[in-house]
Amino acid sequence: MLKVISFTICPFVQRVTALLEAKGIPYQVEYISLSDKPQWFLDLSPNGQVPLLVTEQGDTLFESDAIVEYLEEAYPALQPALSPVQKAQNRAWSYLGSKQYLVQCGAQSSKDADTLKTRSEKLATAFAKVEKVLGEHRFFNSDSLSMVDIAWLPLLHRAQIIKDATGYDFLHGFPKVQAWQAAVMATGLAQKSVAEAFDQRFADYYLSEQTLLGRCQRTCAPCDCHAQNLEADCCAEAEIRRCTPMPATSGCCDSSGCGDDSRCG
């Protein structure tokens, strides 16, 4: 059986496990602490990052891009009839998605409104590019899942968690991406591809007292908030304000580890 070496909340790992779930491939997961990496893991991983995939033959693969390409080639493809050009296009859009994982991690861990706004706007540039190419299909480019959907699933999943918990919407202004998010989340792959402890570990890291989103979740009622209406003093530690939901146009006083590339890849 395939084995995935993982860190609980790493989006790069979720990309791999989501593909395994989508293909119905049996696998097991071994979790490690990235703050205290075991020597056996360092011996297997040239870059010291998760995920790692150990194949049924005992070969070890690293880097999520390489792992998902192996899984797509070694097992029945999600979209078997694609031309070489279509496969290359899918890879390119998938790379664009995976490049945003750490951008989103940084936005989620922002400690003040200005930082959250700046990082959200950087993330939004990628969502804007997808918004332009999404069509009438249920998923990215068809009515069945593709490698692109799998690559963007960790981003869409985390955006949903943040919105549900705080009201802050990373996808504000992108209706096609929001519809795509709903379709991907409806598959159930997001929950199937993470550990039982994922929600709590995610909250502990990104919705703690150390982050703006975490402080606001604890002190304010969720409202329709996003980068364009986020006040600079939102949930400032000196004067956290308890508020009620307000329309996006009136401003907002509550916006509603993986964290760095030395851990995941």
pLDDT score, position 60:
97
pLDDT score, position 238:
44
Weakest mean pLDDT among 34-43, 167-176, 184-193, 232-241: 232-241
Query: Is pLDDT above 50 for 197?
Result: yes
Closest among 27, 240, 178, 211 to 105, alpha carbons compared: 211
Say if CB 168 and CB 119 are below 8 A apart. no
Query: Domain residues of the chain, as ranges?
Result: 2-74, 84-192
Tokens describing residue 258: 């993986």
pLDDT digits (tens, 9 = 90+) for 214-256: 988 766 656 667 776 776 656 554 444 443 333 333 333 333 3
pLDDT score, position 229:
73
Identify the residue with better confidence: 184 or 265.
Answer: 184
pLDDT digits (tens, 9 = 90+) for 202-216: 999 999 999 999 988
Query: Is pLDDT above 80 for 164?
Result: yes
Mean pLDDT of 179-184: 98
pLDDT score, position 245:
37
pLDDT score, position 215:
85
Task: Quickly tell me which residue has 């996003």 as its tokens.
Answer: 226
Closest among 19, 60, 66 to 40, alpha carbons compared: 60
Mean pLDDT of 40-47: 94
Q: Give the H or E element holding residue 61.
A: strand 60-62
Domain 2-74 is in which class? Answer: alpha beta
- Concerning whether 243 is annotated as a catalytic residue, the answer is no
Rg of the chain, C-alpha, whole Å: 19
pTM: 0.88
Check residue 207 and report its DSSP letter. S
The span from the CA of 8 to the CA of 195, in Å, is: 6
pLDDT score, position 196:
94
Measured in whole angstroms, the distance separating CA 153 from the mean position of its chain's CA atoms is: 6
Query: Is pLDDT above 70 for 58?
Result: yes
Most confident of 109-118, 146-155, 214-223: 146-155
In the chain, the percentage of residues whose pLDDT exceeds 90 is 79
pLDDT score, position 219:
62
Say if CB 53 and CB 3 are below 8 A apart. yes
In the chain, the percentage of residues whose pLDDT exceeds 70 is 84
The per-residue pLDDT of the chain, averaged, comes to 88
Mean pLDDT of 92-106: 98
Q: Cβ neighbours of residue 102 under 8 Å, at least 6 residues apart?
A: 258, 259, 260, 261, 264
Q: Cβ neighbours of residue 84 under 8 Å, at least 6 residues apart?
A: none
pLDDT score, position 70:
98
Weakest mean pLDDT among 49-58, 91-100, 188-197, 254-263: 254-263
Check residue 238 and report its DSSP letter. G
CATH placement of domain 84-192: 1.20.1050.10
Tell me: cis bond preceding 51? Omega within 30 of 0 counts.
Answer: yes
